[in-house]
Amino acid sequence: MKKYHVLIVAFCVIVSIGIPLSIEYWWQWPHSGQGDWLSFWGNTYGAIVGILVSTIIAAINTKNQIAETKKLNDRDQLNARKLDEIKNILTNIHGINLELCSYVNNLDTIR
């Protein structure tokens, strides 16, 4: 997949440089000053490449953020399950403690 990304970037660079140069030097435009069309197309393709790069970076960052959020949510759910288990254990211990106190009180009344 990374090789595919490198090919896309290389293609964009070649197109960004090649098209303005070919328009400026091989096509004859009437009444154009030296570098006018080159500047225009260079700016146009530069903006397009900038937009593409920004979009790719935003997509990668969004994907990473979603993965991080999912990982945190999974960890929070695991912690919540552990807390529920601890709560159940403490409830059971409290119940056992109450039974033991009742048993000790009954022993004291029997003596």
Per-residue pLDDT of the chain (111 residues; tens, 9 = 90+): 577 778 887 887 787 777 777 776 776 666 556 667 667 777 887 888 888 889 888 999 999 999 999 998 888 888 888 988 989 888 888 888 888 888 878 776 776
Tell whether the torsion through CA atoms of 42, 45, 51 and 52 is positive or negative.
Answer: negative
Question: What is the pTM assigned to this prediction?
Answer: 0.49
State the residue for tokens 């999974």: 74
**Torsion angle in degrees (nearest 10) through CA of 11, 12, 17, 19:** 80
Confidence (pLDDT) at 66: 94
